[in-house]
Amino acid sequence: MEAVYTQGIWIAECLQQRTQDLEHFWLTITHIGDPKAAFLLVFPLTYFVCKRAGVAVLWVAALSEWLNLVLKWMLFGERPFWWVGESQLFVSTQPKISQFPSTCETGPGSPSGHAMITAAVWWVVVSSLGSFLYSRTHSLVISAAPYLLYVLLLVAIGLSRIFILAHFPHQVVAGCITGFILGIVLSPRVPEGRPLLFFFSCSAGLLLSALMLNVGLQQLGVDLSWSITLAKKWCSHAEWIHLDTTPFSSLTRDCGALLGLGLSQYWKPGGWPLPWAPRALSLAISSIGLYHVSRLPLPVKPQGLFYSLVFIKFALVPQIVMVLVPGLVYLFTRTKKKD
């Protein structure tokens, strides 16, 4: 693998030097591809356009990120920003590469979570949009446009991850392929109308299975904190290390979102019947609410409290989008009509 990693470093160096004027663009794209964006941005946007597609987005985001976590634990992928120092292969010819605030993620690097979750989640969106456009226009050219944008988005996110030294090229490709397959497999299997017990079981099952895998690997002598140690060692700025990039943070996010999805469908099966204008209003209010929820500072010590609060925060996301905000909008617009 040393030859693959070395070639990846030179590709990253070339990309940084030739597109250094696009630094802001790459940082913005990598934020768009952040797995958290699937829950906080793509989910509400999709839900208020098509409820079924919105539920599918949240479902696919949670399952694909959980599988990404498992794969990372199993594959032990390096990240460029620490491998350069650890390999000691660049003593005489040090590459001219830079780190950025989004570089220092603490989980293993393979496959790329940004690429994998983005590929899975956006497949739900573009396939739904493509089918809708074809049903209205019967034009293959027009209905193919979302798929072209899908490919361009994956390419842009992949390049952004290479640019900031978060991933090697082969890790990005692996993430895109895996996410694409997951999107195809999971998107038709939307858990609508399922009882609350189903979602509770899914949330608990994902949490317990990941914990059992963690314990099992540790019993075999595998130190799963190795990537966190290397990230702290080689990150150029200590403040760029964030606890919400750890594997357990993504695990609690996924489990919380699934339980929240079940609770939302339990409180209000089928959602609120809103016309287009109240839906747009609900989307705007939900987006503002989620923006502030995502920015809530969480105590990082003790870590158990941090992970518990992450679980609660993302369990609230479906409540805000599917129940609370549209319910208030529905009551407000309904009262206004009676007057």
Q: How far apart are CA 8 and CA 28, in angstroms?
A: 22
Tell me whether residue 161 is annotated as binding: yes
Please identify which of the residues 24, 114, 138, 292 carries the catalytic annotation: 114
For the chain, how are helix, strand and coil distributed in percent, rounded to 5?
75, 0, 25
**Does 295 appear as a known binding residue?**
no
The answer to whether 31 is a known catalytic residue is no
Active site residue 242: no
How far CA 39 is from CA of 6, 192, 235, 247, in Å, comes to 35, 18, 27, 17
> Going by C-beta distance under 8 Å and a sequence separation of 6 or more, which residues neighbour residue 139?
133
List 24, 31, 138, 167, catalytic entry: 167
- CA distances to 62, 92, 287 from 67, rounded to whole Å, are 9, 39, 27
Q: Quick one: tokens of 242?
A: 């964030």
Q: Which residue has the tokens 């226009």?
A: 137
Say which DSSP state 105 is in.
-
Task: Round to whole Å and give the CA distance between 219 and 327.
Answer: 49
DSSP single-letter state for residue 272: -
Q: How far is CA 311 from CA 109, 178, 256, 283, 293, in A?
A: 23, 26, 5, 23, 13
Structure token pair of residue 114: 């940004």
Catalytic residue numbers, as ranges: 114, 167
Detail the residues annotated as belonging to a binding site for substrate. Answer: 79, 161
Detail the residues annotated as belonging to a binding site. Answer: 79, 161
